[in-house]
Structure formats: C-alpha cells, structure tokens
Amino acid sequence: MGNDWQTIISLAAEGGSIRLLGKEEHPGQWVFKKAVNEMDFHDLEDETIHPTESTEKAHTIKSPISNHDNEAISWEEAIKLLEPYPWPMLHPREVHPVFGKHVWIALQRLVKEKYSGRIDTYRFKKWARLCLPEYSPKIVILATWLQNSTHTTILTGAGMSTESNIPDFRSKAGWWNNIDPRTVATIDALQDNYDLFHEFYSTRINGLKECTPHIGHDILAAWEHKGLLQAIATQNVDGFHNAAGNKNVYELHGSIHKIRCENCAQYAHESDFFRKSNCKICGGKLRPGVVLFGEMLPEDSWRESLSHIQKSDLVIVIGTSLEVYPASQLPQMTNGKTVYINAEVDTTHHDFDLIIEGKAGEVLKQVDELV
C-alpha cells in the first residue's frame, strides 16, 4: 500500500476549498482526514458557474475555516467530517473512483434529508459524472427519482417478459402464421370456434410452463420489499410478477393460469381445461381468466391501478407499446414524473419526462445497483 494521502472528495467554494483525504493502510482498510483551506484558489478558475445560474453565486462556506485536520477510521465517520458544510451544494472537483458509489449514496441521503429541491441540475449532473462515470446519465436520473419518490407505480407490458424467453406460439406450427390472434382471443371464437380457441390457449399455457421470471422481475419484487415500489399494474397475463414475489400486483388483462367457466364464473382446474371438460356446476365452457378482445377490464384491478397512478410521484412504464386502450391512458393520469423503458422507442413517446431505450432486465439491473 502507498504511504501518500489520496483525494477522496475535493470541493470548491467561494473563499476556499474542502478536501476529504484517504490512505489505504491495509487492503480495504482506509483512514481519512479532512483538509480545509480558505486560501486554496489554484483550481477555482475552472469552476465557472453554468450559464443558467448567472444570477447565482457559488455557495460560501459558512462554517469556520482552519487548517486543522480531522481524522476518521471508517467511511461513516469520514463522511460526517463534511456534514458541518453544505457539501452537496458546493462545486465538486474530484471524486476518488474507489469511493464513487459511497459518495453518491451519502449525497443522495443528504439531498433527501436536507437539500431537497435546492441543488441545481447542473451541479447534480456534475456529481453524477464524477461519482458514477460508468453509468448513463438517464440511469442515474431514474435511480435518483426512484429513491426520492414517496409513491411509485410501474406499468408493464409484453416487453417486460421477453427476457424470460417466452416461446412464440407462431413458431410451433406453420399454420399459426396465417391466424391473427385478435380473431382467436375473442368471445366469438370462444363460443363459435372453441376447438381453435382451446388449442390457441393450450399452446400458450404449455409454453409458459418452461419459463420463469427473470432478474427484472426479481428486482421489482425487491423494490417493493424495500418500500421503493408501491404497486405494479400489468397488461401481462403470465403471472411472473406474483411468482417473483410482488404482492401489490393488479392484472389489467387477467391471468392465463386462472381457469373459469364462461357462464357461471366458477373456477376450475387447469387439467380440466386441457381435457376440454365442461364446468362441473353448470356445464359451460371453460376458459382462461384473461380479458378477451371486446371484454371490459377487471373493475377492481382497473380501479386500484388508477388510484395508485393518480397519487404517484413516479410512474415507470416498461415494455409496452401503449397501443391497447384503456391501459394506454394510465400514464397520462398522473401529476408525477413519468418514465418509459422499452427495447424500441419512437417519437410517439415524447410526452414522457424520461425515455430509456433498452431491455427491461438490463435497465432495471443498472438502476438497482444505484438504489
């Protein structure tokens, strides 16, 4: 290990500078000290104020300044050495790469507790570049919004489950390529062409049996457990959110795993559906509990989803084209920030506050690393 002290955080302010220094005495074991110098101006000329801040001046250090060094033997103690100063609002000049995430976490905590709404965007982005250079600015922004949100709702669509390798039923048999699912997933098909309807949904159910939730589903379940996520409204019928561990899930299009009678709504076993058995209560046809084209959405799921959306500070839409009404209208029902994540994005999504192009699991994994 080297004997020289290294800069962990360097801050500039009008009238001086503040540095948190560190020395690795043993592998992974650091000691720290604070250095404050009211006459250290040698780097200040490149700390110009952003044009949008022309009416503001850099924050002046309010605490008494001296050359006395204070020491700490843990990171928790080290960051407390800076707390007498409004350091998140000062001009960051340097952050040690080993401590980038630690500094970011401490910054986020203080911004939330003491400086909410007071740190300007220019300075915030500069902190992000210094602390987290390996992450896209959009990922950093989303992680920050998520941490500071008091109520977050997520709306998911088919793209959320793509990474679970759900098989394309069209590839199972060539003749499916000539059939539009919108003509099969209907009340008319259920009543008038039950054999086709049955084979369509049997194929889908069997295809899901070999699939499991992916890391993105697991992350959303963990966020709910941590209190970062309050509800999921989903257009998917695969049940993966529940399987991953989420409790507050509202299935807008029903569940393919809940078999029921079309006539009396009595639930039945999946094996009864596969055998084309009739309802044991009324003799009606059995069907999956999904919303068919032309049917109304489940009233309870819609009402609860809308309620969560309306009181959300943050709504994150993942993996849906937003083409299916009325679920497509939900993101417009909030006064909070809105984020759109999808493998493909286009100009039709310009109304969102933040748009991130990428696969659901990959994007969520990056965000999760920062929260």
Residue 48: per-residue pLDDT:
38
Active site residues: 253
Query: pLDDT digit string (tens) for 333-371?
Result: 999 999 999 988 876 667 898 999 999 999 999 999 888
Residue 114: per-residue pLDDT:
83
Do the strands 267-268 and 249-251 form a parallel or antiparallel pair, or are they unpaired? Answer: unpaired
pTM of the predicted structure, to 2 decimals? 0.76
Residue 178: per-residue pLDDT:
63
Collect the ranges in the chain with pLDDT lower than 50: 1, 39-68, 169-175
In angstroms, the CA 212 to CA 308 distance is 27
Residue 283: per-residue pLDDT:
95
- Asked: is 135-166+213-253+298-371 a CATH 3.40.50.720 domain? The reply is no
Q: Where are the domains of the chain?
A: 6-99, 135-166+213-253+298-371, 168-210+254-290
Residue 53: per-residue pLDDT:
39
Residue 51: per-residue pLDDT:
36
Residue 47: per-residue pLDDT:
39
Residue 249: per-residue pLDDT:
97
In angstroms, the CA 367 to CA 146 distance is 9
Residue 257: per-residue pLDDT:
94
Residues 230/151, Cβ–Cβ less than 8 Å: yes
The tokens 């393919």 sit on which residue? 256
CATH class of the domain comprising 168-210+254-290: alpha beta
